[in-house]
Amino acid sequence: MNKKDEATKEEKKNDNAEIVSVQDYTGEGFHGEYNQTTDRIVKRNYEELELIANEYMQENFKTDVEITSYIPLENIAVVLFKTKKEPVIHSSFYVMVDHKDRSLIHQFNAHEGEVEQSIVSGLYHYAYEEEFNKFNEKIEELKDKYPVVSLTEEAHEKTYISMYREKNYYISMSSLSVPSVLDFYKETNEVISKEEVRTMFELIESSEEISKGIVIRLYMKEAGTHSDKKLLNNLIDDMSKFSFLLKGSYTINLMSNDVLKKSGHGVENEDLSIIFENKEEK
């Protein structure tokens, strides 16, 4: 075997190491390669990690948080957390890690608007939880009827870094489209009722449409199968008959059974918008 063939073989080996069947995907490798040194430093400074998270969230959103997990990468740790205040909001931030001093850089870092997006999409789901429960039941019916699956519970928990997410779907909504809702959350110390939040969303949508997307995420069930356009069309046709929906842009993303560990996305993806036949919009 010449050097070129050896290099090609090694590349394929590395590629295969980064790909796994969705049923076997645990979230390991999400965001990048695990770093043992970072892991040890974070464990050693875990109380400070909690302090960084709570200082920022108390100052900006008047809520304490609980760290649910973290992803130790080279010189950085991605930290997943949830709020202690109801409704529970999931989001994430990252901290820089000094390997030389074996310490954390005491600063809360997040992509612009990411925490705010998690809050407003979480509040939207909270306000319309009953409707989304029915929506999720319909997706479960599709999973029983067609050869498709969602992420495992373990993978879902370990990759839940932003926006409101369930195993079957996520809600994308910019806080810029609902500033009054975000301000209300920031100024409220007590438990927020569903009725309060729902009234605020309804008031906004009575005069303008809130820009939001709801994406159904499904994977091919059989090992090694590619995303199937014909199957996706069947899913779309079936889902379009769902008779109750909130306003928004709806999409089904059908992915291959093989997923990339770093992103949790399929190696291959197909997506199409859903046009509902009998919309009862609210």
Instruction: Tell me the per-residue pLDDT of 26-67, one tens digit each, with 9 for 90 and over.
Output: 998 898 889 999 999 999 999 999 999 999 999 999 999 999
| Token pair for 192 | 């927020």
E-only strand ranges, 196-248: 212-220
- Residues contacting 117, CB < 8 A, separation 6+: 162, 163, 172, 173, 174, 175
Please tell me the distance from the alpha carbon of residue 268 to that of residue 208, in angstroms, as a whole number: 36
Q: Do residues 17 and 258 touch, judged by C-beta distance below 8 A?
A: no
Q: Do residues 67 and 108 touch, judged by C-beta distance below 8 A?
A: no
End-to-end, the C-alpha distance of the chain in Å comes to 65
Whether the per-residue pLDDT at 127 is higher than 70: the answer is yes
Please tell me the distance from the alpha carbon of residue 118 to that of residue 116, in angstroms, as a whole number: 5
Q: Parallel, antiparallel, or unpaired: how do β-strands 19-21 and 65-73 relate?
A: unpaired
Q: Do residues 225 and 257 touch, judged by C-beta distance below 8 A?
A: yes
Higher per-residue confidence, 245 vs 256: 256
3-state DSSP call for residue 134? Answer: helix
> What b/e string do you get for 56-72 counting C-beta neighbours within 10 Å, with b at 16 or more?
bbeeebebebebeebbb
Question: What's residue 10's pLDDT?
Answer: 39
DSSP string, 137-200: HHHHHHHHHSSEE---HHHHHHT--SSEE-SSEEEEE-GGG-HHHHHHHHH--SPPPHHHHHHH
DSSP string, 15-43: HHHTEEEGGG--STTTTS---HHHHHHHH
In 3D space, the residue among 266, 271, 265 whose CA is nearest the CA of residue 31 turns out to be: 265
Higher per-residue confidence, 211 vs 116: 116
Whether the per-residue pLDDT at 220 is higher than 90: the answer is yes
Whether the per-residue pLDDT at 14 is higher than 80: the answer is no
Higher per-residue confidence, 280 vs 155: 155
Whether the per-residue pLDDT at 7 is higher than 80: the answer is no
Query: Among 5-9, 17-21, 125-129, 278-282, which range has the highest average pLDDT?
Result: 125-129
Place of tokens 């850089």: 105
Q: How many Cα atoms occupy the beta-carbon half-sphere of 211 within 13 Å?
A: 6
